[in-house]
């Protein structure tokens, strides 16, 4: 079974593309794996099978990210770029749950 996640990146006041990630979206994997990647890398990927520290395994062809007015958790986990690091947001409060180390 897949642990699906989304990575939301702010590109405007009310514009947050949500990049889909299919496998290994749980925080103990995603936060270390995301540490190497910039928001621009993730946006360029568009749709990701799995985020790894050495590679973004992307769908080909990818679907464009859904753009929402704010970070919105539609799957198991939601990650955002905040203060120069990736964090997981609590789906109810939108507050950071964990930070990269």
Confidence bin at 98 (pLDDT 50/70/90): very low
Mapped onto helix, strand or coil, the DSSP state of residue 100 is: coil
Inform me whether the pLDDT recorded for 91 exceeds 80. Answer: no
Query: What is the pLDDT, as a whole number, of residue 94?
Result: 61
User: Are 95 and 82 contacting, i.e. CB atoms less than 8 angstroms apart?
Assistant: no
More confident residue, 1 or 83: 83
Q: What does the alpha-carbon distance between residue 47 and residue 61 come to, in Å, rounded to a whole number? A: 9
Q: What does the alpha-carbon distance between residue 66 and residue 19 come to, in Å, rounded to a whole number? A: 7
The per-residue pLDDT for range 23-80, each reduced to its tens digit, is: 999 999 999 999 999 999 999 999 999 999 999 999 999 999 999 999 999 998 999 9
pTM of the model: 0.88
Name the nearest CA neighbour of 32 among 17, 45, 50, 51.
51
Mapped onto helix, strand or coil, the DSSP state of residue 82 is: strand
Kindly report which listed range (9-18, 63-72, 87-96) carries the lowest average pLDDT score. Answer: 87-96
Inform me whether the pLDDT recorded for 95 exceeds 80. Answer: no
Query: What is the pLDDT, as a whole number, of residue 87?
Result: 96
Provide DSSP, 1-64.
----EEEE---BTTBEEEEEE-S--SHHHHHHHHTT--HHHHHHH-EEEEE-SS-EEE-SSPPP
């Amino acid at each position: 079974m897949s642990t699906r996640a989304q990575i939301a990146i702010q590109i405007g006041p009310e514009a947050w593309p949500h990049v889909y990630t299919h496998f290994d979206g749980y925080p103990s994997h995603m936060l270390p794996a995301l540490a190497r990647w910039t928001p621009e890398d993730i946006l360029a990927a568009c749709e990701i099978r799995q985020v790894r520290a050495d590679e973004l395994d992307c769908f080909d062809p990818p679907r464009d990210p859904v753009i929402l007015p704010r970070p919105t958790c539609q799957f198991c986990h939601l990650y955002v770029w905040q203060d120069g690091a990736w964090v997981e947001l609590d789906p109810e409060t939108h507050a950071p749950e964990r930070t990269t180390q």
